Amino acid sequence: MVYKTIPKTVIERVPLYINYLKNIDCNKVKTISATIISQELGLGEVLVRKDLNMIAGIGKPKIGYYVSDLREKLRSLISTEKKKTVIIVGIGKIGEALARYKGFGLNGFDIIQLFDSDVGKIGRVINQQKVNDISNLESYCQNHQVDMAVLSVDSEHAQDVCNRLSNCGIKGILNFTNVLLITPNQIIVRNVDIVSQLMILALEINNNK
Amino acid sequence: MVYKTIPKTVIERVPLYINYLKNIDCNKVKTISATIISQELGLGEVLVRKDLNMIAGIGKPKIGYYVSDLREKLRSLISTEKKKTVIIVGIGKIGEALARYKGFGLNGFDIIQLFDSDVGKIGRVINQQKVNDISNLESYCQNHQVDMAVLSVDSEHAQDVCNRLSNCGIKGILNFTNVLLITPNQIIVRNVDIVSQLMILALEINNNK
DNA sequence: TAGATTGTTAATCGATTAACAATC
DNA sequence: TAGATTGTTAATCGATTAACAATC
């Protein structure tokens, strides 16, 4: 298989394309052009063509892209036959909300285990999943393929849990804490702390005057 | 007052600086250098100096930055005397988790009202706030200064509610839906749909092989 | 064939890094 | 004074856009 490195800016646009194509009925609309996509998404036309060429490479001059092929190609970038397995570590307000959310399965993700350290939460069932004691994290990860973790613990424990996740061989962390995690290079961290996002939004608003 | 436009890349780093400075006791450490900050945050040294010069402009050669001054300067970029007012529209799993979260006040944000359209939710009290009927959105916004909205409604209603928020004069939307919102230019949208974030993380992992 | 659309090469734009002068 | 550190100017790097040839 060929692994070409996709620039980060392109990667961040892939969900836009995936979500856009999701809303197209490929029985009605067989093909679509970069021109149309760029208009709908408010992106440059050449940008879209370059993106799609780089990540899918299945455009046909005069025709455009076969919707079903393009959709499958984009989907396959995220997960192959198997869905990506995700654990949620820290079943507080946000962690629980995510655990209850049903939308992951449709998008190639499988929440396979929930962890917390609080005895009041361990054993509780959320969305048909029993909350596991975080002291079982290492043994669980030894016996199951875990691709990614959602980190939604208290900030005080964030780095410690992050270290444990690294040692477990997890490849990526979606970090809901406001802690800047120190990790080895082979682990990808994506910071999505809500307060930070609100700050950025507020700054953009002030900047927009 | 001088409004200089801050590049988007710089804006996205501001929360890093704010969160970093939060952990420094300015009674113990009076001043700090860009060199130290850049090392701790894993950023280029000149980048940090340029950022801080652009957004704060209070560095002193040989000394660095006075921690308390820098902190105050960064904080003031987000909100002045008044906190930024935020409403949460859509009290589903995520909306409720955010409504219950206590960390906004400390960071210059004030959740001033919750809205939902579900009679089962309207009137419920969450974190000392009664959920308001979304049909009161317009009248509420006429009588209160609302700076930003967290949009966590079902995707089917996202664009419609977004239009109503626009008409209410709201300046920014933190969009938790996977819908690409169409808005007039004076409104800033920041997309933070969790599944999209997981997709980006998965793509970065695959790219990192 | 002509038109629509792709993919590529060159030009532009913006962001980061390197080099360095200014200064407390 | 010398060293540390800032802020600025120039160089580099990467991403987007413009121009255009290829093609179904």
Residue A190, number of CB atoms within 10 A of its CB: 17
Per-residue pLDDT band at A80 (split at 50, 70, 90): confident
Identify the pLDDT of residue A27: 87
Say how far apart CA A178 and CA A155 lie, in whole Å: 7
> pLDDT over 90 for what percent of chain B?
89
Residues of chain B with pLDDT below 70 are 1-4
**A45 has pLDDT over 90:** yes
**A53 has pLDDT over 50:** yes
* A9 Cβ contact partners less than 8 Å away, ≥ 6 residues apart: none
Q: What is the pLDDT of residues B162-200, one digit of tens each?
A: 999 999 999 999 999 999 999 998 999 999 999 999 999
Of A11, A104, A199, the CB nearest to B204: A11
Whether residue B74 contacts residue B14, with contact meaning beta carbons closer than 8 Å, is answered with yes
Identify the pLDDT of residue B209: 72
CA of B18 vs chain A CAs: smallest distance (Å): 9
The residue among A198, A169, A165, A201 whose CA lies nearest residue A181 is: A165
Find residues whose C-beta atom lies within 7 angstroms of strand C: A 33-35, 46, 49-50, 52-53, 57-65; B 7-10, 43-44, 46-47, 50, 60-63
The residue among A35, A201, A71 whose CA lies nearest residue B183 is: A201
Q: At what angle do helices B194-207 and A8-22 cross, to 10 degrees?
A: 130
Chain A contact set for B98 (CB, 8 A)? 93, 194
Map residue A146 onto helix, strand or coil: coil
Strands B188-191 and B172-175: parallel
Say how far apart CA A163 and CA A14 lie, in whole Å: 29
Of A100, A190, A203, the CB nearest to B78: A203
Q: What is the mean pLDDT of chain A?
A: 95
**A3 has pLDDT over 60:** no
Q: What is the pLDDT of residues A84-112, one digit of tens each?
A: 999 999 999 999 999 999 889 889 999 99
From the number of C-beta atoms within 10 Å of its C-beta (0-12, 13-18, 19+), residue A156 rates as exposed
Cβ-defined contact of B19 to A84 (cutoff 8 Å): no
Chain A contact set for B151 (CB, 8 A)? none
User: How many A-B residue pairs are in contact by the CB < 8 A criterion?
Assistant: 181
Query: What number is the average pLDDT over the span A172-195?
Result: 96
Query: What number is the average pLDDT over the span A113-126?
Result: 98
Identify the pLDDT of residue B2: 44
Q: Tell me the whole-structure pTM to 2 decimals.
A: 0.95
The residue among A108, A176, A190, A112 whose CA lies nearest residue A145 is: A112
Identify the pLDDT of residue A2: 44
Chain D positions with any atom < 7 A from a protein CB? 3-9, 14-19, 22-24
Strands A172-175 and A188-191: parallel
**Considering only residues 125 to 184 of chain A, which have any Cβ-Cβ distance to chain B shorter than 8 Å?**
147-148, 171-174, 178-180
- Which of A's residues 3-42 have CB atoms within 7 A of nucleic strand D? 7-10
Residue B199, number of CB atoms within 10 A of its CB: 27
Identify the pLDDT of residue A26: 83
Q: A29 CA, C11 C1': separation in Å?
A: 36
Identify the pLDDT of residue B26: 83
What CA–CA distances, in Å, run from A167 to A135, A163, A170, A186?
14, 6, 8, 11
Strand D contacted by B29 CB (< 7 A): no
Whether residue B207 contacts residue A5, with contact meaning beta carbons closer than 8 Å, is answered with yes
Q: A202 CA, C19 C1': separation in Å?
A: 36
Say how far apart CA B136 and CA A204 lie, in whole Å: 27
Say how far apart CA A194 and CA B109 lie, in whole Å: 12
Of A78, A101, A197, the CB nearest to B199: A78
